[in-house]
């Protein structure tokens, strides 16, 4: 879940980063977000998009049942285009390998 946390630092050192004073806080947003994951992803299990959705209530989730860590391809492109055209519109797909929720 570290990718949904925002780092807050007290300043920067000569390398540009200060480890002191950093805390992790959940990043909450009402902005529409499209979250996608593969059911066979061993590195980042699909449960994580559900956890992220908790902090991003206007997100839409896509689960690809026949993919692993890399999600994308021809079946996801039309959904991305629809999402970009109207991010608040509920997405749907007739593809049996995609679960939208």
Rounded distance, CA 34 to CA 73, Å? 15
Burial 50-76 (b: 16+ CB within 10 A, else e): eebbeebeebbbbbbeebeeebeeebb
pLDDT at 90: 96
Low-confidence ranges of the chain (pLDDT < 70): 1-24, 69
Chain CA centroid to CA 28, Å: 13
CA angle, 40 then 46 then 51, to 5°: 170
- In the three-class reduction of DSSP (H, G, I as helix; E, B as strand; rest coil), residue 51 is classed as helix
pTM assigned to the model: 0.69
pLDDT at 67: 77
pLDDT at 22: 57
Closest listed residue to residue 67, CA positions, set 24, 92, 99, 27: 99
């Amino acid at each position: 879940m570290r990718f949904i946390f925002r780092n807050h630092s007290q300043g920067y050192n000569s390398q540009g980063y200060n480890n002191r004073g950093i805390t992790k806080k959940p990043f909450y947003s009402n902005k529409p977000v499209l979250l996608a994951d593969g059911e066979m992803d061993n590195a980042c299990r699909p449960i994580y998009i559900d956890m992220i959705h908790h902090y991003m209530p206007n997100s839409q989730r896509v689960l690809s049942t026949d993919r692993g860590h890399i999600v994308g391809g021809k079946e996801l492109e039309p959904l991305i285009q629809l999402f970009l055209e109207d991010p608040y519109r509920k997405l749907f797909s007739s593809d049996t390998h995609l679960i939208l929720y």
